[in-house]
A and B are shown apart, each in its own frame.
Chain A
């Protein structure tokens, strides 16, 4: 099965965020439509819906293209370096992220002090490392591109 390795890499990459998207959409419907929580999630829902699965797919293509120089966990852990600034930029443009003197505020509700932003980023790195090592890595093995 040596044909279309990049297509298979893309499909293995988008698998995880597409599944998580169901969870995110369910949470969105529950919080916004059922419990009427006043957080304008719909303004930024396009970010996880459209951009993130494609980024995962393209990142996995890049992993296959680079002939697997880095272990897949570390390769995946590099993705937040792109996604975090991108997400912040989208949030800032759409008005869901405001930057104040104390910290950054998401959805006019959740304020994270600047001292906590680096640990949050590290947590994201760890989650990505584990997701890529165990889920995307095993899918790559199943599809014969590991």
Chain B
């Protein structure tokens, strides 16, 4: 590729790709306006929101209850322990 071809391709590329921030890229003035807004207040509001409530099976008390139930059950039926060990 010689120099004139390179220059021609560079010119064609410059014509084909408009500069970033031009209307053609952002597809309308509303998008540009939205991007130019300060996003920090939204971020701060989101950070200050209370976390979403946990589902019942996601709580730690549920898992502890399961552990306790299994321990109590195995204490009452220790004969099942080898069978469980085999099947686990």
Chain A interface residues toward B at CB < 8 A: 20, 24, 27, 44, 47-48, 52, 71, 73, 80, 83-84, 87-88, 91, 106-107, 110, 112, 116, 119-120, 123-124, 126-130, 133-134
Structural contact, A87 and B80, CB atoms closer than 8 A: no
Structural contact, B66 and A126, CB atoms closer than 8 A: yes
A-B contact count (CB 8 A): 58
| Bound complex: CA A20 to CA B57 (Å) | 26
Structural contact, B79 and A123, CB atoms closer than 8 A: no
Structural contact, B80 and A116, CB atoms closer than 8 A: yes
Of the four ranges (under 10, 10 to 19, 20 to 34, 35 or more), the interface on chain B belongs to 10 to 19
Q: A110-B83, A123-B73 are in contact. List 8 more A-B contacts (CB 8 A).
A: A52-B88, A80-B87, A106-B86, A107-B82, A112-B80, A120-B83, A127-B88, A130-B66
Sample (8) of A-B pairs whose CB atoms are under 8 Å apart: A44-B86, A48-B88, A110-B79, A112-B83, A120-B80, A120-B83, A130-B67, A134-B63
Residue in B58, B66, B73, B85 whose beta carbon sits within 8 Å of that of A24 in the complex:
B85
Contacts of A44 in B (CB 8 A): 86
| Bound complex: CA A52 to CA B83 (Å) | 15
Contacts of B67 in A (CB 8 A): 130
| Bound complex: CA A141 to CA B66 (Å) | 23
Contacts of A88 in B (CB 8 A): 87
Residue in B80, B82, B86 whose beta carbon sits within 8 Å of that of A91 in the complex:
B86
Contacts of A127 in B (CB 8 A): 70, 84, 88
Structural contact, A106 and B82, CB atoms closer than 8 A: yes
Given A123-B73, A130-B66, decide whether A73 and B84 contact each other with a Cβ distance below 8 A: no
Structural contact, A87 and B70, CB atoms closer than 8 A: no
Given A112-B79, A116-B77, decide whether A124 and B66 contact each other with a Cβ distance below 8 A: no
| Bound complex: CA A44 to CA B57 (Å) | 35
| Bound complex: CA A83 to CA B69 (Å) | 22
Structural contact, A106 and B83, CB atoms closer than 8 A: yes
Minimal beta-carbon separation of A137 from chain B (angstroms): 12
Minimal beta-carbon separation of B82 from chain A (angstroms): 6
Minimal beta-carbon separation of A78 from chain B (angstroms): 15
Minimal beta-carbon separation of B81 from chain A (angstroms): 9
| Bound complex: CA A84 to CA B83 (Å) | 10
